[in-house]
Structure 1
Amino acid sequence: MAKQSSVKSRRKIVTPVFHLQTKDEDDSQLSKAMIKIVRRTGQLNLSGRSLANVPEKMFTMYDLTPEDTATYIDFDKKPDEENWWHFKSLTYLDLSSNVLQEIPGKIGMFEDLTVLNLQDNNILSLPHEIGNLTKLTKLNLSHNKINALPMEFYNLSELQVLSLAHNQLGKLSKRFGDLVMLQQLDLSHNVLTKLPPGLGFLVRLTEINLSHNKLVDLPPDIVNLRGLLKLDVTHNDLVCLPSLGELTKLQFLYAQHNNIEEIPDFEGSTHVQQIYFGNNYIKEVTPEFCENMPNLKILDLRDNKIEALPNEIAMLQHMIRLDLTNNDLTDLPNSLGLLPHLQNLQLDGNKLKKIRADIIKAGTCRLLKHLKEKFDGEELENIQKVSNVAIYEPKTFPDRYTMKHSRALNLTIKQLTSVPDSVFEEAKLAEVTMIDLCKNKLQTVPGGLNLLVDNLSELNLSMNMLTEIPEFISSCANLKYFDLGNNCLSALPDSLVDLIGLRELILSSNRFISIPECVYGMVGLEILLASDNKITEINVDGLKNLKRIATLDLTNNNISQIPPELGNVTQIRSLELKGNCFRQPRYAILEQGTASILSYLRDRIPK
């Protein structure tokens, strides 16, 4: 009994790991040294200090005591030196990642604030005095518990960046349209059922995130956002989208996980590059849609009800990835084989009856080749008339004016074995940023490319006969997209590690036995496609260096074992491992998707 009593007594004196700080403890976080820095710089960072209250000293830190005056006065000061009364007013305030429930009205005294960060707290409401901060250009209120905004909030007419994500907002005032300077707006993860009609007045918006709400429709005036580049409406209850043709600058549309039944009209939106319509109820891809998407590169239509594709699909000449997983397709149009850039075609979960299973399993290149071989001369001519696709292009180089208009040098499918330097000289004068040399017979990378390394952002060398990549490619500091698929490469130069801004690298269908070491130094990499090689193992330590890696495709290699530690590379959102010779994870696990694969691997890490 005595032993039990001692145990109980020990439990009584245990203190919790976390407790709310008192006001005095919060005040102590703002030291005299910090106040001096604030007075000199106009910036205060109190992020991640477990503050339960905004320090009271913050509102008096510009008040001078006799001691302060004595400290700062220096009669021997040179005339050009800064005087003590020349304090910089507060322009930057960061109170993020604390446990604040309330922001005092005194915050309104800092009228020169341009940046205010209050994200990741427990704030329930905002004071009316927030409206005094009329110079704010950036305000972050994400990850709080705000369910309404005071009317004074809409006085912040200079706001350019506003994040209200992860709150409990159910309604917005029609005065939201007064925030006319907004360029980026994040309203994701709230409980909004509709948007205010004044949203169309925010004509400077370039990005708007409305995902994870309960929206059933979008206001008609959203088409007035002529400068919009990115629109995200994923995870809502939308049944349809308005005609988006007037959004002439739109490049990215995310509309997964809704109840959309038809693809909206895009006529006029010729700059769209990526569209995501996964997990909806779309039944048809219309010829009109294909006609209006000349620059579309990624189209996600997985988990819909599509039964057929039109022949006009051949008009999507810049298509790189097409996801048709889990639809109702029974056949594919032969015109799909005319897409010169298509690298990734996903067809799992369809009942394709007219194409042999072994051809489908052989991968995208084999399938496209099969479809193209099925053409006869008359069908080719009909497809060309219907879809206006030039099947046989003459071996001519584009003139400077054509390149100047498109900022691109496109030399696809021209049977080229070399490219004259003069072509690249013209491209430099035209300020070209994108070069496409795919589907030719190049055995070496043209040396003239060296003239364009300063401005190049996209480079496609796929489907040639390259055996090596020159060192000068490492000088392409602005390169974002690099396609080396379907060549004869077995190594890359170490100097390519300098491509730290590269976002997408395609190494598919080459002769690599491992992912080159230089790849693991490309810290900006988001997408790495290395299917159909001879890769034997996965370098987990290398992958951990790629903090932004989201898509990794290692399909059809010689990998005999998947290291369990791969499960800790949680930044990966899409992992493809099929077609290798390992036994674990089983095929059933692979079918469940990336999250299940990573979870399975983590469970097998030895403790």
Structure 2
Amino acid sequence: MSRLKRATQMDSLAGFRAEKKEQAVPSGLLKAARKSGQLNLSDRGLTEVPQEVYRLNVDPPEDAKLNVSFGASDRWWEQTDLTKLLLSSNQLTHLSDDIRLLPALITLDLHDNKLSSLPSALGELQELQQLRLSNNQLRSLPVELCSLKKLSSLTLQQNLQESLPEELGQLQNLTQLDLSNNHLKILPSSLGCLTCLQKLNLSNNQLSSLPDSLARLCNVKLLDCSKNQLTDVPASLSEMSALEQLYLRHNKLRLLPKLLAPALKELYVGNNHIEQLQAEQLACLTAISLLELRDNKIKILPEQITLLSTLTRLDVTNNDITTLPASVSLLPNLKVLLLEGNPLRGIRRDLLTKGTNELLTYLRGRIKEDPERTDGGPTAMTLPSQARVNVHSIKTLKLLEYRLQEFLSSLSDINLAFNRLSCCSDLCKFLQLVHIDLRNNQLSDLPSDMKNLTKLSSVILSYNRFKSFPEVLYHVVSLETVLLGNNQVDKVDPQRLMKLVRLSTLDLSNNDLLSIAPELGLCTSLRSLSLEGNPFRAPRAAIVARGTDAVLEYLRSRIPT
């Protein structure tokens, strides 16, 4: 009986039914793409692009073959052309010439695949503005790609490029070009024709020289040439009138570049072979704010360092400096001086650990006072009754009594790290504050009046008790740096973060973020985003390890269309 029962349960027509082939791309997704003009196929394990994707705007949908009537919303022949196609994080090994069947494409994202070549048909996508090809196995580019007149962003990092076509200079609308992490040994001179370029990344290649034609890039604000084989930098780069940030780390430079670039604010030349700082090179840096010289072989910090009147941060970590000129303390805007790893003499080791303010105060004390001074200014000896800070209270009562009223209109930098603060409302009175360090305290919130600190540039809140991004910081539009690592933050609002248009550094590492909103990828001002040590699953750890650009690019690719 059991056998008979099982037999009656079997499908008697099973042998006559044709097996239905599973579609690589769900028909519902294709239908939605015809309406929106956008199709997101990222991270689907595709080894090739399905033919129905190429022919999306050519062939009628399957529904049309069923001889059914269409409502106004289902008239496929009236739907929009595909303008955005996302194919990132798949296993694609080639792209068909049929890509020409999508001539309306504006954005084509192919990053994180296994492409070793590109079809010449890409040159027919004349509406294309963004082409993302990073993390593939490309060794060369088809010349036809250089005919894309509207292309504004081309990302080619993490490939196997050994050379670039001379025709690359025809892409005259490019504003962003990323060629980092390739095998380039030489650059085409036509690169100087990309006069709309604003950001050029050449890091992690094998370049031994830069072409003089780069001088014509009059709109480039950021140039990254780190991790190459450069022994010199052409003086013609001085003609890059908009250049603000220049990265030359990990090269073979023996001298500080002599650059008269009038807008240069940040120069990074760490990990080179620089032995001497010359006065004429320093004198050129008329607008410099940040100078990184770490991990070189510098023996002397010359007195001419005082020429850098706009300098706010000087990093000479791990050099061979034995003496520090007291005149460094005369730099009017210097806020951070990093000296670790130098064989300094004449300065107590414990003084170096107390921070920049203490060190600069000590150095000022070594400068001889003007003998004609008669203004009755402060002397080296201060009576206990005249002290601004009650040291006895600090040591015995663990209490700091503020007597800082006279600094309300001038104090710009305050460090209250490694205390037990649970409230910091008094800080809001100092309207000129630019930098606040509150790390290692017991804070769980910030006062709402902090929004009045309109000059606040950086705030360090690591190792506190914050459970969310401090509400008031969304209103401080001057912020450039927020360090919020090692707290309990479980949510961040990317829509409000986007309004912080100056925010370039955001540290959210080691918190409780269970998910990362894709819209965070639209925070285009971010140059450094730290997310390690959170329990989210996406983006994957491998993507996070690739750095900020890779994370932001991944997040943008996940934005629902």
Aligned to 1:329: 321
Q: Does 2:104 match 1:115?
A: no
**Residue in structure 2 matching 1:183, options 175, 181, 187:** 175
CA 1:59–1:445: 2 relative to 1, 3 Å? closer
Structure-1 residue corresponding to 2:360: 368
For the structure 1 residues 357 and 305, does the alpha-carbon distance in structure 2 shift closer, same or farther, using more than 3 Å as the test?
same
Shift of 1:283: 2.0
The 5 A counterparts of 1:500-539 are 500=474, 502-505=479-482
1:373 & 1:437 partners in 2: Cα distance? 21
Correspondence for 2:434 among 444, 449, 460: 460
Q: Structure 1 residues 133 and 459 mapped into 2: Cα distance closer, same or farther (>3 Å)?
A: farther
Q: 1:39·1:87 contact (CA, 8 Å) conserved in 2?
A: yes
| 1:209-236 per-position Cα deviation (integer Å, ceiling 9, x unaligned) | 1111100001001011111111111111
Distance in 2 between residues matched to 1:159 and 1:141, nearest whole Å: 13
Q: CA deviation at 1:325?
A: 1.6
Letter in 2 for 1:166: Q
| Cα distance, 1:365–1:229 mapped onto 2, change above 3 Å | same
| 1:350-406 deviation per Cα after TM superposition (whole angstroms, max 9, x unaligned) | 22123233322333222211111111146999xxxxxxxxxxxxxxxxxxxxxxxxx
State yes or no: 1:165 paired with 2:165: no
Amino acid at match of 2:257: P
Q: Where does the alignment leave 5 or more consecutive residues of structure 2 unmatched?
A: 1-19, 374-403, 415-424, 438-444, 498-502, 521-527, 547-561
- Partner residue in 1 for 2:473: 499
Displacement after TM superposition at 1:438 (Å): 5.0
1:336 is paired with a residue whose SS is helix
1:277 aligns with 2:272: no
Q: TM-score if structure 1 supplies the norm length?
A: 0.64
Report what 2:457 is aligned to.
Answer: 481
Matched, 1:45 2:40: yes
Which of 119, 127, 132 does residue 127 from structure 1 map onto? 119
2:481 maps to a residue whose letter is E
CA drift at 1:339:
3.1
242, 260, 268: which one aligns with 1:267: 260
Counterparts in 2 of 1:144 and 1:84: CA distance versus 1, 3 Å? closer
In structure 2, the CA distance between the partners of 1:140 and 1:232, relative to structure 1 (3 Å rule), is same
**C-alpha spacing 1:352/1:86, structure 2 compared with 1 (3 Å):** same
**1:55 and 2:50 aligned:** yes
Q: How does 1:185-584 map to 2 (within 5 A)?
A: 185-243=177-235, 244-270=237-263, 272-377=264-369, 417-419=407-409, 437-438=412-413, 460=434, 471-474=448-451, 481-482=457-458, 496-500=470-474, 502-505=479-482, 540-541=510-511, 550=530
TM-superposed CA distance for 1:493, in Å, is 13
1:36 matched to 2:31? The reply is yes
Distance 1:82 1:52 in 2: 30
Superposed displacement of residue 326, structure 1:
1.7
* Partner SS for 2:337: strand
Contact 2:490 2:514 in 1 (8 A): no
* RMSD over aligned Cα atoms: 4.5
Q: Equivalents in 2 of 1:227, 1:111: separation in Å?
A: 30
The alignment of Structure 1 onto Structure 2 pairs a total of residues equal to 455
Task: Specify which structure has the bigger relative contact order, considering alpha-carbon pairs within 8 angstroms and separated by 6 or more residues.
Answer: 2
The answer (yes or no) to whether the contact 2:37–2:80 under 8 Å persists in 1 is yes
Instruction: Please give the secondary structure, in 2, of the residue aligned with 1:28.
Output: coil
Provide the rounded CA distance (Å) in 2 between the counterparts of 1:118 and 1:323: 39
Looking at structure 1, the residues matched to 530 and 115 of structure 2 have their Cα atoms a distance apart, in angstroms, of 32
* 1:94 counterpart = 2:86: yes
* Conservation of the 8 A alpha-carbon contact between 1:474 and 1:496: no
Identity %: 31
Contact 1:205 1:225 in 2 (8 A): yes
- 1:503 to partner: Cα distance: 4.3
Q: Distance in 2 between matches of 1:522 and 1:379?
A: 58
Q: 1:147 and 2:139 equivalent?
A: yes
**CA gap 1:82/1:64 in 2 versus in 1, 3 angstroms:** closer
Matches of 1:551 and 1:242, distance apart in 2: 38
Query: In the aligned structure 2, how far is the partner of 1:493 from the partner of 1:57?
Result: 47
Structure 1 residues 360 and 447 mapped into 2: Cα distance closer, same or farther (>3 Å)?
A: closer
Query: 2: CA distance between counterparts of 1:162 and 1:334?
Result: 48
Taking a change above 3 Å as real, the CA distance of residues 551 and 350 of structure 1, as seen in their structure-2 partners, is farther
Structure 1 residues 312-321 or 195-204, which shifts more? Answer: 312-321
Q: Deviations over 1:516-544 (max 9, x none)?
A: 88899698787689xxxxxxxxx954699
- Structure 1 unaligned residues grouped into runs of 5+: 1-23, 382-413, 420-434, 450-457, 508-513, 530-538, 553-562, 574-607
